[in-house]
Chains A and B, each alone.
Chain A
Amino acid sequence: MNSNPSASSPPAARPWVWGFLTSSLVITLLAVVGQVVGTAGEPYYKALEAGWVHKGWSGLLAAPGRYLEDPGLHAKDYGFMFAGLVWCALVWLQRAAIRRFFLAMQTGVALVVLCTIGVSIGVLVPQIGNFEDSDQRVTQVNRAEELDSFLNAQGVFLYHLQHLYGIGAPKRELPPEIVAGLDRFGQLYGREERDNREKAMRESFAMEAKGVEISEFIADHEGWLTSAFDLSTALSFNRAYKSYWFATLCLLLALGVGLNLTRYSPKHWFTIHKAGFAIVHIGVLVMLGGGMLTKMIGDRGILHMDLREGPKDTYERHFNRTKEARMPFSLRLDQFGRKDWLALEVHFSEARFKSRPPRYTVWPDRTVDLDFTAADGQSEPRPQLRLRVNALHDHVDIRLPKVIEQSKDAEYGLPLVDLEIPDFGDEHLLSSSVTQAPEGGRRRLYLSPFLPSQAVFHPLNLWRLRVAREQDAISMFPTEEGMLGVLEVEIATAQGAEPEVVPIQVGSTFKTLGGYSIRVDEATRNATFERDEQDRPYPRADTGPLDEQPDRLRAVWIEIQAPDGRSERRAVIEGLNAVALGLQDSYPVSAVVTRLRWNGWSAPGGPRYVLAFGEPAEGGAVRARLIDELGRSFPLELGKALPMPGEEPLVLRGLFARGALSPDLRVLPDEPRADGWDDDFYSTAPRGIELEVIRDPDTPQERRESVRMATTEENGSNVWASPDGHFALLFVENSEMMPFEWRSVLSVLERDGEGRPYVVDLGPERKREIRVNDYFEYRGYRFFQTNADARFPTYSGIGVVYDPGIPWVLGGMYTIIAGMVIAYILRPIVLSRRSQEPT
């Protein structure tokens, strides 16, 4: 007989202990299962989605019924139902084990770690275009484009991984002539501007060579990178956040958090030791629940609205033109406004830089110091010019300028020519900084020989006219015929670099930074648009001789040859900023950014004339003569027409040796409505600036002058030239960078019982106005200001969001923050005080 009772009974089984590795394997497996099941069951999900989007909960409940209306259930439907039932039964039977699995600390940590990896995948693998649309996939149609993006993105990343801290990356020094130019630039525009330009240039020089190396790297590794792309596509890594494996991970995380929260009673959690952490968990659960609502029921898109059009109820889902959704009401755009930042440019007449001068955004009390020169006897340079902004105005009215002949002793005065010309309309009076004003069907122009860039053109090419000082007159005529103007070329990989400015004519060929070759093939002054066989517009040149074409829309056609062999024929249209319009990326050689600045004076065109402005004779009268291209000279008299072709003459009305021209700008007062609505933002009136120009500031020789300017070329109101001709100011609305803001005022229209539309009273404009950081909500839809387009001033892009999950997600986030504050700020304070209390 066995006296040891334990020897006969088998040892008690030890419960399985989940480790990090085993937990991770199970979770990964579940994610894979989730991906497979989700992909296979996608038709059901899509049917439900089609049913409930925009139809709310009633749509959700009715959706299965609509699916069943499809004649008969198929075998796979039965299969799915059976598999689902089996799965539910298994889960129920093993509920204890499942609970134990999720309650294990290792499982919780593994979940967090795998979620982290899941999010990281989306960072390390470039997501496909518009991945937010769950239907978006890599297909035969878009594969090439997506592969190209993938190769470029991974190439940049891996290249920099190989060249940590720039070690081994190409560096190029700035050529001495550029450094000399920068030094001169710094003397005029200040040390900070100069340093910033230098930094940008160094980066662009390095980027140019780096870009070539990155391209070579991509080419060398294209094989395995393409395989990586295909693998990413197969595993849905390039649409990670819309994939089923990611949704499964989030679901498992929510399950783990929820089960751990219910592990103990609330009394256990809400102590000072644990309350903060419990609240964080609650917040995570609420946030994930809201996220699930967003995924299942939420919808996003864009509504293209126009002031000239009526109400709309249909928007593009996920910004996809082929997918539209309809709202149960309509929106109408009542007002739209877009404002750019106001800026000043300072041009120094003696300096000719390849790149544009800086644009200084202005605001009240801003001060800009310029023109640093070390005066004799001084060791340190000091600013010789200071601009101080006194005020900005939303409305100014432009009146006829006043012109007065100053005395010889007057400190300021500009030589001026007062011309009366036919009123051809604004579009034909080209070239900026021509002071002009309408007067009884004709126009008065005020031109100065100190501003030789001013020019006037007859719309039918009968003549072209400039004004110059007598000694400069002959040199105004171009020595080389056919120079069309300049082409500004930037290489996009050379980040922040100033553009190269290249004079061009038909047939010009030149090389740019980065080794691109550009040839100018064709030019026109009268580009028109036609449509191709696919109804896409394209520009066409006027076939007539260039010098006989009307001046309407100037363009050149260039042939670009990239160093890697790609080529492109591109039309560059004056005034069209392809980058701002979002067209640049669609060009075959998108790294090359081009802009055309046509020179109406030097390009082929009508006969040229120069009004030579002479020195005052004894007795003070100014003499002037007209010189043509053949060198013939014609004396001029006040009140007489200039001997130029055309039926409508130009008449010389005045010659001022020391003219003081002041555009008459009147500030219009702000007049808000009685209800407080101030629609200044929507006004198209020119805006104004009051500026103080200070010469030799902070010295005994300091001189101040108050200047008013406006954002309109009318009367040259946007230009102010110093009387000594040393510099000129240009006041602009800076449309080259992001705008200041854009806003819309909307109205909502519903239909009554008889189907007739009516405007819903939602209050005054203030309540219906949307801005970038202030959206408008109606019946669960949120409308926010997303798009505008400088070419179409009446267009407003309104983002549309329908998402019942938003309040839950935001509530969950606030809860998490509160929990963290309690756990890590409040708890230590309370525990510290408790430990100090006497026991």
Chain B
Amino acid sequence: MDKFYEYTFGFHQHGLVASDRWLRISGWLVLLCACAALLSAWLRLRSLSRTPAGPAPSNPAARVAVLALFASVGTTLVSIWNRGVEVNHFPAQNMSEVLVVFGFAMLVAIAVLHFVMKLRESGQGWAIADDVLLALVAGSTLLVNYESEHLPNAQRDLPPALQSYWFSPHLVALIFSYASLGIAGLICAVYFSMRFWLGVFRGGRSLWSQFLVFGLLWLVPFTQLVTIPVFLVTGLCLSLARRKLPAADAFKSIERTMEQVSYRAFAVGIPFLTAGLFMGAFWAQEAWANYWGWDSKENTALVTWLVYIAYLHVRMLGGYRGEKAMAVLLGGALSVFTTFQLFGYMPDTQKNSLHKYTDFSLPAREGQQGQARVGGDEQAMVTPSQR
């Protein structure tokens, strides 16, 4: 907690480099955004029964939340810019830098969704959902930025393969897609949590389906960092509003729209995911004349793309809606998380993945394959073991 407090409110500390300072300011703004959004949601909830149908009226907390969102986008961009100056290249070479860019992408993605979807124009209930989504994404961004500060971020020189004009578009496209698809996954987590708790408070759901949802949210490895807080917060909100819960039909409408919103988030992210994935191939072709090396990072990204292609097909051709479609989308989010954060633990990655440039333990090696082969006595130095 001390470290979190120091991170969030310690942007005035001496000795911070410019990028860290701006990132901490951004963290403060993101926290403000999250708190203001939650406050707005609470104010709207209190006046839910008194608000007439039609576009939801704004309130000061909502306006503060949006202002803080834009300010944090700006300050994060300044932080990234400064980091680029400090390291003399596009700042996405280690995981710390990539996480900052990811946090920025999440803020941009939620800003786009907020203004494109215009949920508040559908009514007060939708405005509440919009506020809660904003708070969740802002909170996630704060945690992501906090985590980035705890990873090593010493300046490292770009290896020759990374000195390419593909570096920034490839990274930016992929990270933006991860952010957008991650938001879609977040909505799915809220969706399933909501169905579970409604089953608890209202009944009407089979034990098997409750058990399945509970297992999905609690037991899938590595996702608990997101699913459990969402599960608990959703339960708390619904519990507090238990007496004011709308009718079952209204919730069906809410679920349908959540499914549509998650689809829109997916629709924003999928072209960037596609472009980012294949830009990597174009880059690899230029660097090593090998458009696809079956590296584990490439493979996990391909798996992610294929999962979303499957989602596309079941939704558009199979007519999947509701929990079936959301389950596939949640699977895609898990795949995104695996590609982004977990690929380093995958068995095939333990052999030398070329994408471990972000790993500080990567030894300095000349070339990508094999050892030098020269004639004569100079080969004496190439000796695998010594007496």
Contacts and interface: CB of A to CB of B under 8 A. Distances in A.
Contacts, number: 293
Contacts of B207: none
B121 interface: no
Given A108-B317, A119-B306, A801-B290, A787 B367 contact: yes
Given A157-B345, A196-B153, A738 B287 contact: no
B15 interface: yes
Interface in A800-825: 801, 803, 806, 809-810, 813-814, 816-817, 820-821, 823-825
Interface string B341-356: 0010111111100000
A127 B294 contact: yes
A503 B281 CA distance: 49
Contacts of B375: 306, 309
A788 interface: yes
B368 A786 contact: yes
The size bracket of the interface on B is 35 or more
B299 interface: yes
Contact of A579 (B281, B283, B359, B364): B364
B160 A773 contact: yes
Contact of A786 (B163, B282, B288, B383): B288
B72 interface: no
* B interface secondary structure, majority: loop
Interface stretch (B125-133, B217-225, B254-262): B217-225
A771 interface: yes
Interface string B6-20: 000000001111001
A125 interface: yes
Given A109-B313, A112-B306, A165-B225, A381 B14 contact: yes
A539 B346 CA distance: 39
A496 B156 CA distance: 13
Given A199-B152, A372-B15, A810 B88 contact: no
Contacts of B307: 116
A739 B160 contact: yes
A415 interface: no
Interface residues of A, number: 125
A750 interface: no
B366 A739 contact: yes
A84 B344 CA distance: 44
* A interface secondary structure, majority: mixed
A529 interface: yes
Contacts of A557: 386
Nearest to B166: A773
Given A113-B310, A191-B16, A199-B150, A496 B361 contact: yes
B274 interface: yes
Contacts of A771: 160
Contacts of A539: 383, 386-387
A116 B306 contact: yes
Nearest to A826: B271
A837 B362 CA distance: 58
Interface in A758-800: 771-775, 782-792, 795, 797, 799
A131 B299 CA distance: 15
Residue in A154, A381, A791, A817 with the greatest tally of chain B CB atoms within 10 Å: A817
A736 B364 contact: yes
B236 to A, nearest CB: 22
Contacts of B2: none
B367 A319 contact: no
A217 interface: no
A293 interface: no
A341 interface: yes
Interface in B263-321: 267-268, 270-271, 274-275, 278, 281-283, 285-294, 296, 299-300, 302-303, 306-307, 309-310, 313-314, 317-318
A502 to B, nearest CB: 20
B54 interface: no
B385 interface: yes
A812 B288 CA distance: 19
A809 B150 CA distance: 41
Nearest to A791: B381
Contact of B379 (A112, A160, A537, A775): A537
A820 B387 contact: no
Interface string A540-566: 100000000000000001000000000
Residue in B152, B289, B350, B369 with the greatest tally of chain A CB atoms within 10 Å: B289
A650 to B, nearest CB: 34
B374 interface: yes
Interface string B170-210: 00000000000000000000000000000000000000000
B159 interface: yes
Given A157-B345, A586-B385, A792-B378, A825 B271 contact: yes
A787 B370 contact: yes
A814 B275 CA distance: 9
A828 to B, nearest CB: 8
A106 B365 CA distance: 47
A302 B363 contact: no
B174 to A, nearest CB: 13
Nearest to A568: B385
A630 interface: no
Contacts of B343: 123
Interface stretch (A4-12, A464-472, A569-577, A595-603): A569-577
Interface in B12-49: 14-17, 20
Contact of A810 (B282, B378, B380, B382): B282
A735 B363 CA distance: 12
Contacts of A774: 286
A773 B366 contact: no
Interface string A570-612: 1100001001111110111000000000000000000000000
Nearest to A199: B152
Residue in B285, B294, B296, B366 with the greatest tally of chain A CB atoms within 10 Å: B366
A150 to B, nearest CB: 8
Contacts of A366: 88
A102 interface: no
A589 to B, nearest CB: 11
A737 interface: yes
A742 interface: yes
A149 interface: yes
A200 B156 CA distance: 14
A164 B348 contact: no
A738 B88 contact: no
B364 A495 contact: no
B310 A112 contact: yes
Given A124-B346, A579-B364, A581-B382, A792 B275 contact: no
Contacts of B313: 105, 108-109, 112
Given A124-B348, A127-B351, A196 B271 contact: no
Contacts of A682: none
A388 to B, nearest CB: 14
A773 B286 contact: yes
A320 to B, nearest CB: 9
Contacts of B274: 816-817, 820
Contacts of B249: none
Contact of B278 (A540, A588, A814): A814
B93 to A, nearest CB: 11
Contact of A122 (B299, B374, B378): B299
B253 interface: no
Given A126-B350, A361-B155, 17 more contacts: A123-B303, A127-B351, A132-B294, A157-B346, A157-B347, A191-B15, A191-B16, A192-B17, A304-B374, A495-B359, A537-B382, A739-B366, A741-B160, A742-B366, A774-B286, A782-B289, A821-B275
- Counting from the closest, the 6 A-B pairs by CB-CB distance are A787-B367, A495-B361, A586-B384, A571-B386, A772-B160, A789-B372
23 contacts: A105-B313, A105-B317, A113-B306, A116-B310, A124-B348, A125-B348, A126-B350, A154-B347, A190-B15, A302-B369, A306-B375, A316-B370, A495-B361, A496-B360, A536-B383, A536-B384, A539-B387, A579-B363, A738-B160, A742-B160, A773-B283, A786-B369, A787-B372
